[in-house]
C-alpha cells in the first residue's frame, strides 16, 4: 500500500468529518437549541468525555476508510505500472497483458487507461513484426540482392587472404622455427629476444588473420538451424585457436532472416574477442522464451571503458547494435577493465 496516498486520504477524511461534526454541533446548540453547549461538551459516554469518544471515532473511521480507498486506487495503479515496465523492456507478449485490471471502486479510469496500454502494446507488436520483416527482406541491386553481392565479395576477399597473406604468414612462421632450430645456441641473447619478438608478432598476425577470415565467412546458415550454425562455428574455432570455449544453445523457431542476423552477431562478437579482447575463455548462450530470444556472449579479456566512443573494436560493437535495433531488440554491453565483457541481446519474437 502507498503510505503517502493513505496519509493524504486520511487527513482529508479527518478534516471533512470534523467539519461536518462542527456544523452539526453548531446547529444543535444554535438554531435548534436542543442542548446547551456546556452540557454537550461535558456529556460522557462509557465514562469517557463525549468529545474524546467522538474524535476517536472520527480518527478510526477515517483510517479504515483511507485504507480501503488507498487499496482500491493503488492496486490498479500497480498493475498498470507493471504493464508499462514490461513494454519498456520490450516484452510485448508477457502474460500480464492478458490480465484484467482489478476494479474495486467506482473509479473506472484505471480500466480505460489499461485498455489504452493494451492498444499501444498491440501496435508495438505490429511495428516490431513489420520492422523485422523489413529488415529481413532482400534488397535487389540489378539481378542480385544486396546480400548476395556482399557475400560474393566477402568470399572473394577471404579466398585471396587465405591463399596469399595467410599462407605467407604460415611460411614465415615455419622458416622462423627452422632458423631457431638450426642456429640454436649460436646466437647472442639480444638477437634471441628479437627472434622471440618476431615470432610473437607473426603469431599475433596469424590470430588476426583467423579472426578476419571468420568475420568474412558466409553469413547465411545454409539450411542449418541457428543452433547448428553457431555450434559448427565454435567447433571450427576450437580447432584453430587456443581459446577455452563453452556454449549452451537452445533450438529456436525464428524467421530465417532473424536467425541470419543473430548468426552474424555471433560471428562479429567472436571476431571482436579474437582481435581485441586478449581473452582465453569465451562463452555463448542462446535461449528462447515465449516472447523473446536472448543471446549472451561473455569473455574474460582485457575489457574497456564503456563510455569511450572510440575504443578499439567499437566498429564491430556498433554493427552488432545496429543489427539488434533493426530487429526491434535491446542491446546491452557490460565491460570491466582486466575482467572481461558481457554482450546481452534480446529480440522480441
Give the predicted TM-score (pTM) of the model: 0.53
239: its cell numbers: 580447432
Q: Which residues are CB-contacts of 214 (< 8 A; sequence separation ≥ 6)?
A: 233, 237, 267, 270, 271, 274
CATH number among 1.10.10.10, 3.40.50.920, 3.30.565.10, 3.40.50.300, domain 224-349: 3.30.565.10
Percent of the chain, pLDDT > 90? Answer: 10
What's the residue count for the chain?
Answer: 349
- Tell me what pLDDT residue 107 has: 56
Residue 282: is its pLDDT beyond 80?
yes
Q: What is the mean pLDDT of residues 250-271?
A: 85
- Tell me what pLDDT residue 309 has: 46
Classify strands 244-249 and 281-288 as parallel, antiparallel or unpaired.
parallel
Where are the domains positioned within the chain? Answer: 3-133, 141-218, 224-349
CA angle 256, 259, 264 (to 5 degrees): 125
- pLDDT greater at residue 217 or residue 230: 230
- Tell me what pLDDT residue 325 has: 84
- Tell me what pLDDT residue 170 has: 76
DSSP-derived secondary structure letter, 95: G
- Contact 348/128 with Cβ under 8 angstroms? yes
Cell 581485441 sits on residue: 276
- Tell me what pLDDT residue 106 has: 54
Q: What is the mean pLDDT of residues 208-225?
A: 69
Gap between the Cα atoms of 204 and 45, Å rounded: 94
Residue 305: is its pLDDT beyond 70?
yes
Amino acid at each position: 500500500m502507498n503510505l503517502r496516498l493513505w496519509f493524504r486520504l486520511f487527513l482529508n477524511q479527518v478534516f471533512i468529518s470534523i467539519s461536518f461534526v462542527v456544523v452539526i454541533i453548531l446547529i444543535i446548540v444554535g438554531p435548534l437549541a436542543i442542548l446547551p453547549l456546556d452540557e454537550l461538551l461535558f456529556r460522557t459516554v462509557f465514562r469517557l468525555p463525549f468529545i474524546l469518544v467522538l474524535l476517536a471515532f472520527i480518527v478510526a473511521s477515517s483510517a479504515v476508510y483511507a485504507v480501503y480507498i488507498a487499496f482500491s486506487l493503488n492496486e490498479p495503479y500497480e498493475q498498470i505500472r507493471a504493464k508499462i515496465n514490461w513494454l519498456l523492456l520490450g516484452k510485448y507478449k508477457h502474460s500480464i497483458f492478458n490480465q484484467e485490471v482489478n476494479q474495486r471502486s467506482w473509479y473506472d479510469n484505471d480500466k480505460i487507461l489499461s485498455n489504452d496500454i493494451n492498444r499501444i502494446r498491440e501496435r508495438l507488436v505490429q511495428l516490431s513484426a513489420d520492422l523485422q520483416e523489413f529488415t529481413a527482406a532482400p534488397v535487389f541491386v540489378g539481378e542480385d540482392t544486396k546480400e548476395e553481392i556482399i557475400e560474393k565479395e566477402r568470399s572473394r576477399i577471404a579466398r585471396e587472404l587465405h591463399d596469399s597473406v595467410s599462407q605467407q604468414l604460415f611460411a614465415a612462421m615455419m622458416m622462423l622455427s627452422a632458423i631457431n632450430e638450426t642456429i640454436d645456441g649460436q646466437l647472442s641473447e639480444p638477437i634471441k629476444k628479437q627472434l622471440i619478438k618476431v615470432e610473437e608478432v607473426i603469431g599475433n598476425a596469424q590470430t588476426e588473420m583467423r579472426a578476419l577470415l571468420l568475420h568474412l565467412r558466409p553469413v547465411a546458415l545454409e539450411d542449418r538451424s541457428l543452433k547448428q550454425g553457431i555450434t559448427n562455428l565454435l567447433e571450427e574455432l576450437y580447432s584453430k585457436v587456443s581459446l577455452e570455449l563453452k556454449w549452451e544453445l537452445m533450438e529456436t523457431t525464428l524467421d530465417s532472416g532473424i536467425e541470419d542476423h543473430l548468426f552474424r552477431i555471433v560471428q562479429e562478437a567472436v571476431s571482436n574477442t579474437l582481435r581485441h579482447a586478449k581473452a582465453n575463455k569465451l562463452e555463448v548462450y542462446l535461449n528462447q522464451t515465449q516472447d523473446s530470444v536472448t543471446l549472451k556472449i561473455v569473455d574474460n579479456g582485457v575489457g574497456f571503458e564503456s563510455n569511450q566512443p572510440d575504443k578499439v573494436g567499437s566498429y564491430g560493437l556498433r554493427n552488432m547494435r545496429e543489427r539488434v535495433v533493426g530487429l526491434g531488440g535491446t542491446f546491452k554491453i557490460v565491460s570491466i577493465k582486466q575482467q572481461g565483457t558481457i554482450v546481452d541481446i534480446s529480440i522480441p519474437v
